[in-house]
Amino acid sequence: MKQRQLGQFSVSAIGLGCMNLSHAYGIPPSEQQAEQLLLSALDMGVTLFDTAALYGFGTNEELLGKVLAPHRSRFTLASKCGIFREDGKRLVDGRPETIKRTCEDSLRRLKTDVIDLYYLHRWDKKIPIEDSVGALSELVAEGKIKTIGLSEVSADTLRKAHAVHPVTALQTEYSLWTRNPEIAVLDACKQLGVTFVAFSPLGRGFLTAKMHDVIHLDDKDIRRSMPRFSVDHFAANAGLLDGLTRIAHDAGCTPAQLSLAWLLAKSDNIIPIPGTTSLQHLQEDMTADQIDLTPHLIEALDQLINQHTVIAPRYNAATQSEIDTEEF
């Protein structure tokens, strides 16, 4: 696979988001299937694996620790703190003492002495960002993490954090149908030398053009709470997929590969991290770095799917209140 720079690390241009191996999209795959997918990704040349304490409330980190610890020297490991479960409740907690305690938990689950890239998963707005990043900087000094990342924050918050300690990566949802980073964060990342990591680069499955409806989503699938995946909004947005499929045909690839190639073409400091439970889709996604899009095709995509043509926000009001990203 082609390589991109992530701070001090050279990693595959497309990383693997590991959340859905344990969390969020209904019943996860079996442990055996998840292990096979992780090892297949490693064999394909994927060298960036992204997890979090939140995913499966620790089980995703345990999975990666069990499967990938024997291959630790072959990849860059990213995890996240700041959201976790305690006493059966999901908590957003950015207090320095909590960050340090949960880092120890993550190191144990991941079976590693150091996490390469450790994100603050959410900015706890009750705590100054400088305090949370200060705790992360102490973890760097102690050798427990190598670099610091932030997730779902604004350009202003990024700059405040970067003034305390250099931020290596900022992770936020970015895809053809979620353009919020284009407001300010992408420019801020370029100015500060921060790599932008794009999660949900395939629109939580929408941009694969393989989702035919939403009525069969599992009851525990987080998309059920997302406005774009309501029956009416999904049906309206699905009208964009015929055009996406035509452009993919012109580019000689699948809609998923086209969507990833579009992100890679936007800037060389962007690294998408699609997730999947399918070996076939993994192979499809991880070969998208071989696709070169012409300016004409990029322009056609930009005109087809953007913040003006997509109906409904990405998050419901409760989730939106937790994040700090700029909104159209």
Contact 50, 197 (CB under 8 A): yes
pLDDT in tens, 62-91: 999 999 999 999 999 999 999 988 887 889
- Catalytic residue (choose from 55, 119, 174, 315): 55
Q: Are 114 and 145 in contact (CB under 8 A)?
A: yes
Confidence at residue 322, expressed as pLDDT on a 0 to 100 scale: 93
The percentage of residues in the chain with a pLDDT greater than 90, rounded to a whole number, is 97
The pLDDT tens digits of the residues spanning 260-319 come to 999 999 999 999 999 999 999 999 999 999 999 999 999 999 999 999 999 999 999 999
pTM to 2 decimal places: 0.97
Q: At what angle do helices 185-192 and 155-164 cross, to 10 degrees?
A: 20
Domain boundaries, given as residue ranges, for the chain: 3-205+267-291
- 171 close to 152: Cβ distance less than 8 angstroms: yes
Distance in angstroms (rounded) separating the CA atoms of residues 293 and 295: 7
The token pair at 76 is 């860059």
Question: pLDDT (tens digit, 9 = 90+) per residue, 133-143?
Answer: 999 999 999 99
Percent of the chain with pLDDT over 70: 100
Q: pLDDT tens digit string along 87-127?
A: 878 899 999 999 999 999 999 999 999 999 999 999 999 99
Extract the tokens encoding 180.
């919020």
In the chain the first and final C-alpha atoms are separated, in Å, by: 34
Write a three-state SS string for the chain.
Answer: CCEEEECCEEEECCCEECHHHCCCECCCCCHHHHHHHHHHHHHHCCCEEECCCCHHHHHHHHHHHHHHHHHHHHCEEEEEECEEEECCEEEECCCHHHHHHHHHHHHHHHCCCCEEEEEECCCCCCCCHHHHHHHHHHHHHCCCEEEEEEECCCHHHHHHHHHHCCCCEEEEECECCECHHHCCHHHHHHHHCCEEEEECCCHHHHHHCCCCCCCCCCCCEHHHHCHHHCHHHHHHHHHHHHHHHHHHHHHCCCHHHHHHHHHHHHCCCEEECCCCCCHHHHHHHHCHHHCCCCHHHHHHHHHHCCCCCCCCCCCCHHHHCCCCCCCC
55 is catalytic: yes
pLDDT of residue 86: 83
Q: Quick one: average pLDDT of 25-36?
A: 96
The torsion angles phi and psi of 170, rounded to 5 degrees, stand at: -120, 125
Label residue 88 exposed, middle or buried (CB < 10 Å: 0-12, 13-18, 19+). Answer: exposed
- Specify the fold of 3-205+267-291: TIM Barrel (3.20.20)
CA distance 55 to 271: 20
Distance CA 40, CA 49 (A): 12
